[in-house]
Chain A
Amino acid sequence: MILEPPILTIMLALNCEAKPWVDFYHLKKSLDRPFNVYAKPGLELEIVITGIGAISMSTAVGWVAGRATSRKRVWLNLGIAGHLDRPIGDAVRVHSYIDANDLRHNYPPLVAKWAGDSDALMSVNAPTDSYPDSAMVDMEGLAFYRSACMFSSPELVSSIKVISDNQENSVENLNATKISQLMQVHVAIVNRFTDSLLALAKPANITLAELTLEGVRRTHSQQLQLNRLLEKAAALELNQAVADLGLQQESRFDLVLSKLAALIDHSAPSLERTPSDKADAPSLLSGASHG
Chain B
Amino acid sequence: MVDVIYIEKEVIDHPRTAAIADRYPKAKRIEIERYGEIFNGHAQNFRIQKNNPSLILAAKQNKKVMPTPSQYETGGGAHYYFSHMLNCVYDCRYCFLQGMLRSANYLVFVNYEDFVDEIREIAKTHQNDDKPVWFFSGYDCDSLAYEPVTNFADFFVPEFSSIPNAVLELRTKSTQIRSLVKRPAQENVVIAYSLSSDRVAQEVEIGAPSMAKRVDALAKLQEKGWRIGLRFDPVIWHQDYVNDYQEMIDIVFKKLDAKRIDSVTLGGFRLPKGFYKTMRKLHPEHWLFSAGLDDKNAMVTYTQEIETEVLQNVANMCEPYLNTGKLFTYSSFDEDSLADQKSQQKSLQNGVEA
The verdict on A268 contacting chain B, using a C-beta distance below 8 Å, is yes
Q: In the complex, what's the smallest C-beta–C-beta distance from A250 to chain B, in angstroms?
A: 22
Interface: A36 (CB within 8 A): no
> Are the CB atoms of A231 and B238 closer together than 8 Å?
no
Nearest CB in chain A to that of B103: its residue: A109
Chain A residue nearest to B48 (CB atoms) is A155
In A247-291, which residues have CB < 8 Å from any B CB? 264-265, 267-271, 275-277
Contacts between the two chains (Cβ within 8 Å), count = 114
Residues 246-277 of chain B: 1 if any A CB is under 8 Å from the residue's CB, otherwise 0?
Answer: 00000000000000000000000000000000
Among the listed A111, A199, A205, A232, which residue makes an inter-chain contact with B291, where contact means beta carbons less than 8 Å apart? A232
CB interface residues, A 200-249, toward B, < 8 Å: 200-201, 204-206, 231-237
Contact B37 A154 (CB under 8 A): no
Inter-subunit contact A235/B286 (CB<8 Å): yes
Could you tell me if B291 and A268 are in contact, using CB atoms closer than 8 angstroms? yes
* A205 in contact with B238 (CB, 8 Å): no
A71: Cβ under 8 A from any B Cβ:
no
Please, how many angstroms separate the alpha-carbon atoms of A112 and B49 in the complex? Answer: 9
Contact A277:B44 (CB < 8 A) given known A264-B290, A267-B291? no
The answer to whether A154 and B239 touch (CB under 8 A), given A111-B51, A265-B292, A267-B291, is: no
Does B237 have its Cβ within 8 Å of any Cβ on chain A? yes
Which residues on B sit within 8 Å (CB–CB) of A95? Answer: 4, 28, 30
Known: A111-B51, A269-B288. 17 other contacts (CB 8 A): A109-B44, A110-B28, A153-B43, A153-B44, A154-B44, A155-B48, A156-B48, A200-B48, A235-B285, A236-B291, A264-B290, A268-B238, A269-B238, A270-B239, A271-B203, A275-B203, A277-B286
Instruction: Report A's interface with B, CB cutoff 8 A.
Output: 95-96, 105, 107, 109-113, 117-118, 149, 153-156, 199-201, 204-206, 231-237, 264-265, 267-271, 275-277
Binding site for A on B (CB under 8 A): 3-4, 6, 28, 30, 32-33, 37-38, 41, 43-45, 48-49, 51-52, 54, 103, 105, 199-200, 203, 237-241, 244, 283-293, 303
